[in-house]
Structure 1
Amino acid sequence: MTEATSFDAVVIGAGFSGMYMLHRLRGLGLTARLYEAGGGVGGTWYWNRYPGARCDVESVEYCYSFSEELQRDWDWTERYPSQPEILRYAEHVADRFDLRRDMRFRTRVTRAAYDEAAARWRVETDRGDRVTARFVITAVGCLSDARIPGFPGAESFRGESYHTGRWPHEEVELAGKRVAVIGTGSSGIQVIPVLAELAAEVTVFQRTPNYTIPAWNRPLQPEYARWVKDNYADIRRRMRDSLFGIAASFNTGSALEASEQELREELEARWAHGGPGFLGAFADTAVDPRANELVAEFVREKIRQTVEDPRVAELLSPRDHPIGTKRPCFDTDYYATFNRPNVRLVDVRRTPIEEITAAGPRTAEATYEVDVIVYATGYDALTGALLAIDVTGAGGAALREKWAAGPRTYLGLMTAGFPNLFTITGPGSPSVLSNMFVSIEQHVDWIADCLRHLAESGATVIEADADAEDAWMRHVGEIAAATLFPRANSWYLGANIPGKPRVFMPYAGGVGTYRAACDEIAAKGYEGFVMSR
């Protein structure tokens, strides 16, 4: 049987955004082909298999809402789902909706070029596929382009090296080994406590300490799970109207106006509950440095109470960025892990890693002999995976060149000069500042409704207007500037990638506000977009 080479749409990526997009395209009666670089569905959760990998959104909220039957039938086992359970969920969805028949795995899209004369995209892959499509919809993920710092001599290391975002699918034997962990962001904070229980020695190389809140993970009680399912309609509504796409309560009061007792009681209660709701303790934490410092000092006090060595406690205490301005971390016994006799902390801000030798990392003070190096060094976030594809739009314009000074989009959905190219949770949308499922479903539904509108109006081409794009990017920048986010050298700004433009990429106005803006634009006939036949 000859493989089709012409489709209504090509979708790139088989994570949760790509799977739902494929499902919606089928519902519109459109033909689609989905390409995925990995060997199965799951996106981030296909690759992130490191010990301790777990979501930082509660399981009952980190799942699809588009199917009532799916919501009812799937049972989560823990408050915060582990990577294996999330991957099982992704595979269950793929099976339930028979999605794999339109997917091609272990196939990486290398090029997408817009043919203006034909009003079609020409898509190429590393396996030799050559197909065309009216629409290309990128679902490549915000955190999928794993990055390892270019340490001199890394290739000479005689032990094993792994990146948390590209962990082997087979079991890695760590018992009795000496392990170095480079990086203390979210994946480092999750993997370090687990490695400390397995390995003979764990040496943690920390450049920047991060605030982390206890997750207090536990088995999901059946009665609570039943209550959630019975109240999903209200829970989902609150999530969609919220700031971050979660149903946690957010205090509208001011930390600066609270008494010392009120401040302490609110923070203690939220610390005891754990998870992302802690950052909703006071409304002014994200915008007022004085309010932020009150919350930050509370966390530093918790670190001092937990870590027995005062010197180590101080090294683990963040002081160079406001709390909440980097991706929030939620942990299980992270700070207590540094009380273990087999764990040591190296401050690489004071003594940077100068090279990786055959024996292990070397700083100006010492060479650390290890058997395994774990790079918990993050990703080229939001833009890396998309710009890894050679994308050219109208007139042969390259997306890499257009975004050379930072990504430019209208609503995070399209970029001017690239007709019929949609980005799911792209830069300029809430994306990584939200529960990704809420943002994914909102984007996919908006794109599907837009495609239906195109068909009903007889239009074949849609693209963002350049002036509308400029206005939106100004708005994104103004919203970010009104917060404390720009005060941190975070991957939100691309600060973790040498040479990457420092631009705050996600939309910080909240998923509820953003959804309302997208709905209003659609209701006005897709204002700011240009449609043609």
Structure 2
Amino acid sequence: MLPVSEDLDFDPNELRARYRAERDRRIRPDGATQYRDVAGEFGFYADDPHADPDFTREPLHDEVEVVVIGGGLGGLLAGARLRQAGVGSIRVVEKGGDFGGTWYWNRYPGIHCDIESYVYLPLLDELGYVPEWKYSPGEEIRRHARAIGEHFDLYRDACFQTAVTELRWDEDAARWIVSTDRGDRMRARYVVMSNGTMDRPKLPGIPGIDTFKGHTFHTSRWDYGYTGGDAGGNLTGLAGKRVALIGTGATAIQVVPHLGRDAQQLYVFQRTPSTVDYRDNRPTDPEWAASLEPGWQRQRMENFLGIVSGGSVDEDLVGDAWTGSARLLRKITAGGQADSLTPEERERAEEILDFRKMNQVRARVDDIVRDRETAELLKPWYRYACKRPTFSDEYLQTFNRPNVTLVDTADHGGVERVTENALVVGDREYEVDCIIFATGFQVAMSDMITGRLPVYGRDGVHLLQHWSRGPRTLHGFYSDGFPNLLTLGAFQNAASVNYAHILDEQASHIAAVVAEAGKRGARWVEPSAESVDAWAAALGENAEELYKFHLECTPGYYNNEGKPHPRQGYAKGATAFHAMLRDWRDNGGMDDVMVIAG
């Protein structure tokens, strides 16, 4: 049971009022439209700095069993699980020059995963690999992505540096026609969409941003040609340079220590501070690694998921700041309710735990940051689950350096304007040589959802036309009217802070469905309209509770910049969702999606 104690050393009413006031300072009337898409506007986005610029190949007009769109962890897991299920002909189509997804594109200094590597990196048991660090750096994760591609023979038919431009269903042939920007017109029995929901960088729509004469780049396209160094730091090119970093989310937490160490002057422009908890990264203990037995990763993954989803376990195998604050994550992950409490008692108990945790986070700022004014600006005033928590043992310490200045923009709606050589906030201009944007990505805006990748199903109906009155899926995987189109992602299913685990469960489910369709000789896989309608009705169980919570949160991508939408997720959490899928597969659920003749 959650503790419900009134023996408090703080006033909850005062904290609620402070949280609301800090939120109101940051709300902008333009909401998420304050950002702009960088595509086509900045050269650092259009080009792939990691790929062969002279690469060419002849267009493909062949046929494969499965086309997987996207070569990130989701696409790799889909390919791996399909290969394990006996599918021989799998083609991964990827915009980048290699596997890795976000770990291919993001190579900024200090890049690490914030989830323990032993539960985040997929397929460790299958590859016989134990990560070198408790929290892996980006290069280790990228190497592992390539190793998965090699182990499961996914390089053989892969198409890199290739973007899919259209999907069109051929009813007579029961095949998808897959068109690309290289002139391909491939045919595939199945298409698996795993092209991500956070793959397009965004920039703040600051007046004058196009007039800046200095150097600019987004953290997802880090320019080592300008900064020098590599992901380990040593940014020698910034010696003598005045650098502005816009944004203080998870990426900035990792970048700031390197910029502060190597730049002549660093200005960190902050609208809302992140929660910064301890990290305590360390190398893997070789004796522990040698003691691991087959199945160790699955056990550890399930243990972590159970804890952060609010379940009960006998032992915390991970033992980090995520699991230590797990009770505060329910507004992100759903599930995990103490049934002995009424909803009102549960909300009260969770809020008190939240206040205590955030008081500890703010006290940590006081313990580390010497300048009192800077420390006050770095303190987060909101509920723990309002923004993704961050972890670092170097970020806060960087503000003790004399060459690092925190610029708070909360009362100005962000940076007000950019001139040819400066950023303007209030009545002050900050002259800089370089602007680095740590402003994140468009969220839940995959090419399929936005229409950038048009998808035409039965009778030439566009997917977005079919969804004109709301999304239509069964379990988030497939939609009526779009046979053999299978989707991985966070849409209409379950969430967790360890997204790699979610993707693995989804990939395993899709592979099981495809394998069963092959056994039954099904012409295609497609849910009935009735099952899709039933799933949509089942998803709204706790949408109102989560909507109210995020409405009171400081603006950010979790709540659509202060204008949240009701969430369409599985209310009982990821552990329950995965159990439900297993039960569905084992007890006749697949009968609904198998079309033997048509």
- 3-state SS in 2 of match to 1:60: helix
- Indicate which of 356, 367, 374 corresponds to 1:312: 374
- Indicate which of 501, 525, 529 corresponds to 2:588: 525
- 3-state SS in 1 of match to 2:156: helix
Deviation at 1:68, TM superposition (A): 3.5
Q: How does 1:49-68 map to 2 (within 5 A)?
A: 49-65=107-123, 68=125
Q: How does 1:288-437 map to 2 (within 5 A)?
A: 288-319=350-381, 321-351=382-412, 352-386=414-448, 387=450, 388-401=452-465, 408-431=472-495, 433-437=496-500
Return 176-185 or 147-156, whichever deviates more.
147-156
Q: Does residue 1:153 correspond to 2:208, yes or no? A: yes
Instruction: State how far apart, in whole Å, the 2-side matches of 1:273 and 1:93 are.
Output: 27
Instruction: State how far apart, in whole Å, the 1-side matches of 2:190 and 2:62 are.
Output: 14
Instruction: State how far apart, in whole Å, the 2-side matches of 1:52 and 1:378 are.
Output: 16
Which digits, 9 at most, give the CA deviation of each residue in 1:176-235, with x for residues without a partner? 2211111111111111122111211111111122212111112222123223x23x5255
- Equivalent residue number for residue 504 of structure 1: 567
Letter of the 1:420 partner, please give it: N
The verdict on how the C-alpha distance between 1:452 and 1:98 changes in structure 2, with shifts beyond 3 A counting, is closer
Instruction: State how far apart, in whole Å, the 2-side matches of 1:274 and 1:513 are.
Output: 23
Deviation at 1:106, TM superposition (A): 0.6
Letter of the 1:329 partner, please give it: T
Deviation at 1:494, TM superposition (A): 3.8
Instruction: State how far apart, in whole Å, the 2-side matches of 1:190 and 1:461 are.
Output: 46
- Equivalent residue number for residue 278 of structure 1: 324
Q: Does residue 1:515 correspond to 2:578, yes or no? A: yes
- Equivalent residue number for residue 17 of structure 2: none
Deviation at 1:305, TM superposition (A): 2.1
Letter of the 1:99 partner, please give it: L
Q: How does 1:177-192 map to 2 (within 5 A)?
A: 177-192=241-256
- 3-state SS in 1 of match to 2:410: coil
Q: How does 1:88-487 map to 2 (within 5 A)?
A: 88-168=143-223, 172-173=227-228, 174-176=237-239, 177-227=241-291, 229-230=292-293, 233-240=295-302, 243=305, 274-280=320-326, 287=347, 288-319=350-381, 321-351=382-412, 352-386=414-448, 387=450, 388-401=452-465, 408-431=472-495, 433-482=496-545, 484=549, 487=552
Aligned-pair Cα RMSD in Å: 3.2
Give the TM-score taking structure 2 as reference length: 0.77
Instruction: State how far apart, in whole Å, the 2-side matches of 1:76 and 1:526 are.
Output: 37
8 Å contact from structure 1 (residues 415, 464) kept in 2: yes
The verdict on how the C-alpha distance between 1:243 and 1:86 changes in structure 2, with shifts beyond 3 A counting, is closer
Deviation at 1:118, TM superposition (A): 3.2
- Equivalent residue number for residue 10 of structure 1: 67
8 Å contact from structure 2 (residues 59, 184) kept in 1: no
- 3-state SS in 2 of match to 1:373: strand
Deviation at 1:75, TM superposition (A): 3.9
8 Å contact from structure 1 (residues 111, 123) kept in 2: yes
Give the TM-score taking structure 1 as reference length: 0.85
Deviation at 1:274, TM superposition (A): 4.4
- Equivalent residue number for residue 256 of structure 1: none
- 3-state SS in 2 of match to 1:367: strand
Deviation at 1:323, TM superposition (A): 0.1
- 3-state SS in 1 of match to 2:117: coil
Instruction: State how far apart, in whole Å, the 2-side matches of 1:462 and 1:244 are.
Output: 31
8 Å contact from structure 1 (residues 249, 277) kept in 2: no
- Equivalent residue number for residue 81 of structure 1: 136
- Indicate which of 475, 487, 491 corresponds to 2:557: 491
8 Å contact from structure 2 (residues 60, 186) kept in 1: no
- Segments of 5+ residues of structure 1 without an aligned counterpart are 254-268
